[in-house]
Amino acid sequence: MKKVTSNKKVIYLAILFCFILGQLGGTLIIKQLFLNYKLKDMLPQASAIAAEMAQNEMSIRGFKPYLMKVYDLEGNDLSPGDENKHLFFNVTSEEFKDALIDYIPEVIKYNKFAAIKNIKGFPSKSIVVGAPIIQDKQAVGVVFLLEPGSEFQAVLNGFYYVFTGTLLLGTLIISFFISSYLKEMKQLEKTRRDYIANISHELKSPIASIRALTETLADGMIQDEEKTNKYYGIILSECARLQRLIYDVLELSRMQNKKETWNKEKIDTQELVILIESKYSFLSDEMGIVFEITDNARNLPDVFSNKDKVLQLVNILMDNAMKYVQEDGKITFDAIVHSRVVTVQISDNGPGIAKEHLPYIFERFYKSEQSHNEKGSGLGLAIAEEIVNGLGEKISVTSKPGKGTAFQFTIRRFK
């Protein structure tokens, strides 16, 4: 079913089928509406003529421009005079008879009749309306009034033009959306496959390391205690890496599938900054890098958001910066106060990001695609974007190769 709905040819054939079905259905509806209209318009005159014929009185002057044909029940032509002869073109009485007498039983049965008939010799189809001639409560004949069907054909042609034009325009619009949809579906499918491939790669790497080191230790090949402890340390490190990857995969999946919004409340930014400073001042000292919190960041107004998610967002961006700054590097925590929001900026003087990679920085496993040797799951920035979206805020990144990277995100001010 999926292959059928994603096949352009099948979709366009479905549109063509709908076009043919719509045109046929529209033609039948227009034909019926037009016949009902003509029946109301011409039947009173046909009935009046039939009444005069029943009394052997006939004055057809008031019934032009209709062409009139009268037949008895056996199909004999009883049409009076030849005043309408100029309307007959090259149609003989026999040809009229052949075209109309089959309708006599229907006129008698329903006391009225309307049809669009193609009569040989006429330049266009004819509107035919019939009424029975009643004498002594018995039908003795039928009166047919005929009118050129050019008006009906004009209405029908107008419908065809409008319907076809509307369908062509609709098809173009539908084609655009179908192409966009199929393109998006292909991109999503590619993203899904890449996601699975990247998860498989990230899982395989630590598992392979843990297995190789464990087999070496289990086989008793390492006798040196210091080397043995080193192996255990690597195993623990790989287990932690595996644990981070699994946590991040579950966290990202949970965020993307979560429909409810996070609760927001007033946040004391002074307290928030103290928490950030206490954690990352220690880590930066251990790594030999500089961590600076600007005066702007220390003097922010209260904000309205989810404290846990804001801290998680800051942790992701700070950890990301710490992975890429070199020894003696610098990370700056800054902020700008606007009328409605506060823009927080975390910048570093690391190697930076090439311009062509910036549009993909928040995609899953972006980092691991750039360098699989780096620590981390490669899902951090994707989680950061999900947090920002969940909070209803914005996040962006600017970077210059060799000069560093800066991430900015907004937090709504508390009013």
CA 349/CA 155 separation, integer angstroms? 74
Do 248 and 321 lie in a common domain? no
Do 239 and 277 lie in a common domain? no
Do 402 and 367 lie in a common domain? yes
Do 8 and 107 lie in a common domain? yes
Do 192 and 131 lie in a common domain? no
CATH number at residue 209: 1.10.287.130
Do 97 and 202 lie in a common domain? no
- The reported pLDDT for the residue numbered 322 is 87
- The reported pLDDT for the residue numbered 61 is 45
Q: Six-digit token pair at 325? A: 């700054």
Structure confidence by residue, pLDDT tens digits, 325-372: 887 789 999 999 999 999 999 999 988 888 888 888 887 766 544 443
- The reported pLDDT for the residue numbered 60 is 46
Do 141 and 118 lie in a common domain? yes
- Among 2-11, 88-97, 104-113, 141-150, which is the least confidently predicted range? 2-11
Do 296 and 328 lie in a common domain? yes
Band the pLDDT of 398: cuts 50, 70, 90. very high
Strands 290-293 and 330-337: parallel
Of the candidates 318, 315, 342, the one whose C-alpha atom is nearest the C-alpha of residue 331 is 318
* Edge-to-edge strands, sheet with 404-412: 290-293, 330-337, 341-348, 404-412, 395-400
- 312, pLDDT greater than 70: yes
Q: Contact 130/144 with Cβ under 8 angstroms?
A: yes
- The reported pLDDT for the residue numbered 59 is 52
DSSP helix/strand/coil, 350: coil
Rounded mean pLDDT of 222-232? Answer: 83
- 225, pLDDT greater than 70: yes
Residue 77 β-bridge partners: 71
- Long-range CB contacts (< 8 A, 24+ apart) of 240-248? 241/206, 241/375, 241/377, 242/203, 242/206, 242/207, 242/210, 244/376, 244/377, 245/199, 245/202, 245/203, 245/206, 245/377, 245/379, 247/377, 248/377, 248/379, 248/380, 248/383
CA 128/CA 112 separation, integer angstroms? 11
DSSP helix/strand/coil, 404: strand
- Which of the pair, 31 or 106, is modelled with greater confidence? 106
The residue written with tokens 């990001």 in the block is 353
- 199, pLDDT greater than 80: no
CA 410/CA 303 separation, integer angstroms? 10
Structure confidence by residue, pLDDT tens digits, 242-283: 887 777 777 777 776 665 567 899 999 999 999 999 888 888
Structure confidence by residue, pLDDT tens digits, 59-107: 544 455 678 888 888 888 887 765 444 445 567 778 888 888 888 898 8
Band the pLDDT of 376: cuts 50, 70, 90. low
CATH number at residue 100: 3.30.450.20
- Please count the structural domains in the chain: 3
- Which of the pair, 3 or 379, is modelled with greater confidence? 379
CATH number at residue 393: 3.30.565.10
Band the pLDDT of 195: cuts 50, 70, 90. low
CA 123/CA 2 separation, integer angstroms? 52
**Eight-class DSSP state of 293:** E
Q: Contact 49/130 with Cβ under 8 angstroms?
A: no
Do 160 and 211 lie in a common domain? yes
- 27, pLDDT greater than 80: no
Give the structural domain span for 301.
265-412
Do 384 and 277 lie in a common domain? yes
- The reported pLDDT for the residue numbered 343 is 96
Do 77 and 179 lie in a common domain? no
